[in-house]
Amino acid sequence: MPDDIPAQIGMTPEPAPEFGEREAGLLAAARAAFVEKGFDGASMQDLARSAGMSAGNFYRYFPSKAAIVEAMVARDLAAVEDEFRLIAASPRPIATLRTLLRKRMEERCGGEETLWAEITAAAARKPEVAAILARMEDGIVRRLARVMGLAVGGLSEDEALHRFGTPARLVYVIMHGAMSSHLLRDSQDTALAEHLLRTIERIMLEACSGEVEG
């Protein structure tokens, strides 16, 4: 790992402090049930059974599948925020982002890609799920734009989004497609992943107009 990339990369992000251990356990059980039965196939009763509680008690924590998706998104964004703090602390934010993306690609497992593909498909039918995913996408795009803002000299979040919003959205589309693609998941050759990471890095560097080297 390059010397200028924070050593904390590779550590497991701390859970979001506002998310209690009980809720975290229920959410993990719900994820497992979704992976096993599918987002549409798993009923609320299945989710409660996976969590080891009655449906009535489970509903007290998560009254709907949309509420579970919202909690999943909140927890995932908390992990993303931890990663972006590492990026902000790095003298080479774009290179650090590339390192973190590589780590995420290497760690993909357990059917999560299929689950998120099913949730995305469900968003076409369920406006409440679509709204949750839209907020998640907007949050990630803002953070990607912020990386480019840091690379050119510490622009504010709003300034970075105004200047780099379009390339940030392009990078998000590429990342989203890569993380859900069976071509990348099933490939034993790392060349495809490395080419994808170089493409993302090139888009971001070109957006920064050659003002930084990465």
Give the model confidence (pLDDT) of 138-186 as tens digits: 999 999 999 999 999 878 999 999 999 999 999 999 988 877 766 666 5
pTM of the model: 0.78
Domains of the chain (ranges, CATH numbers): 17-63 (1.10.10.60), 72-207 (1.10.357)
Residue 20 has a CB neighbour count (10 Å cut-off) of 12
Which amino acid is it at 126? K
Residue 41 has a CB neighbour count (10 Å cut-off) of 11
Query: How far from 169 is each of 11, 28, 143, 156, 208, CA to CA, in Å?
Result: 27, 29, 10, 18, 15
Q: Which residue has the tokens 């973190």?
A: 100
Calculate ∠ Cα 57-60-63, nearest 5°: 115
Q: Which of 43-52, 189-198, 202-211 has the highest mean pLDDT?
A: 43-52
Distance between CA atoms of residues 191 and 91, nearest Å: 27
Helix, strand and coil percent figures for the chain, each rounded to 5: 70, 0, 25
Query: How far from 71 is each of 27, 134, 159, 198, CA to CA, in Å?
Result: 8, 14, 29, 32
Model confidence pLDDT, tens digit, residues 39-96: 999 999 999 999 999 988 999 999 999 999 999 888 888 888 888 898 999 999 999 9
Counting residues of the chain whose pLDDT is more than 90, the rounded percentage is: 45
* Phi, psi angles (nearest 5°) of residue 153: 130, 25
Strands (E), the chain: none
Residues 142 and 161: beta-carbon distance below 8 Å = yes
Provide Rg for the chain, Cα atoms: 18
* Phi, psi angles (nearest 5°) of residue 143: -70, -40
Output the pLDDT for position 116. 82
